[in-house]
A and B are shown apart, each in its own frame.
Chain A
Amino acid sequence: MTEYFLLFMSAAIVNNFVLTRYLGLCIFFGVSKNYHASTSMGLAIISIITLSSMITWVIEHFILLPLGLYFLKTIVFVVVIAVFVQLLEMVIKKFMPTLYNVWGIYLLLVATNCVILGVPLINSEANFTFIKSTVNALGSGTGFAIALILFASLREKLQFSDVPKSLDGLPIAFILAGMLALAFQGFSGMIPL
């Protein structure tokens, strides 16, 4: 149990996806202008990351490895995840229209994204078991959501501050993200993995 808890915390905080591994930056800078959008995005990411890492684990261990097709890993993962997200979107549209109105658009945005592809690849590199990969995916997704929501709150505050003209917009957002990453740097080395 402790092992899984440590794995979760390590994925969520210590090796935070955005701030120490730089994955998913397009979403991180794109969605974080608005606090509400970033919460929906965070939830979408957590669910898709967990489901897609489960699916890719099954495919890797029951199809790719027995058939000796390991070198096709990247292609297969990308296609499987893209198809799965499309399917999920259709199902939600049909059966849960209210939910679809809230974050349907975010589902498609994350279909081909570094975070969603990154977690299955990390799992397969580390040779995790099924439960471990799921926990790792859950942790990574949570870490991404935490970072996104924190950053969105910071950026909303930033709108009221007087920023030098040439740094306004994207540049100051980068520098702010650097400061946030600096704070997260304090966690590094807390959980040896």
Chain B
Amino acid sequence: MAIAEPPVVQAEPPPPPTRRSARAITWARRRRAVAAHWRVYRRNRQGMWGLAILLIFIALALAAPLLVDERRLEPAFSTGIPFQPPSADAWLGTDKFGRSMVDLLVYGARISLLVGFTATVGTMLIGSVVGIAAGYYGGRIDALLNAFTNWFLVLPWIVLAIVLASLLGATLFNIILVIAITSWAGTARLVRAQTLTVKERPYVERARALGAGDWHLITRHILPNVFPVIFANTVLTVALSILSETTLSILGLGDPNSVSWGVIIEESFSSGALTAGYWWWLIPPGVCIVLVTLAFTMCGYALDEILNPRLRER
């Protein structure tokens, strides 16, 4: 039987040993580093508990539109009976507009986490720019920025936040802005200190001798080495930002149109839930805040133990 000979395929010449780009090598190294850190992190019970709690809340916040009809949160469209204790219909009772507490809490997770994350991004952005500029350029720039940072460290944050929030007006964006403005100084100091040590390392000097500019040095050498140190701090900052938002909301400076957990607490307080005994309106949002803050703090401590070389020995 004649089987048609398969057409002779010209075997491709083996690819010449390509040189991997420097970037590919860097990323491969970073992937390995992250994997190695993850193996250490996974053994940290505290950190894993924190991570688990966080993932649940983040999933809840992301899935909120699928779980809850957003229109039911509009006071005008709410069909429930106000001030109902927990029942089969509303597992955690209802608030003064008859909105289900479960619905409110699920959407509250969205707002509170959003504020926590974006305020942290703002804090880190301002803190990193100021800290790196001060540490990297040194001299007069450092003196000026450092003095500025130290001044901001002594401003009593809550009073400053109250003043800013009441002058700017209570919108979600302003609250995020206020939190970022009042909390960047600690990060800046941390970043500056780390930049100062990284700057003196031989490879930075070598890169500079090879003609690397400031931008290249900062983005390729300083930033990647500062990042691990501030990462743990970042996670702790999210916890603080959520607490700050709650504090501002309790003082009546929250955005009434975006019902965060803090706003729920304020509404229950100002509607007399304490004297009327509407515990289901007051307790659950606070418990959510405690859980999320605790989770972020636990993750932050675990990361600090892994990433902070000073603590690693112990």
To the question of whether A and B form a pair in one complex, the answer is: no
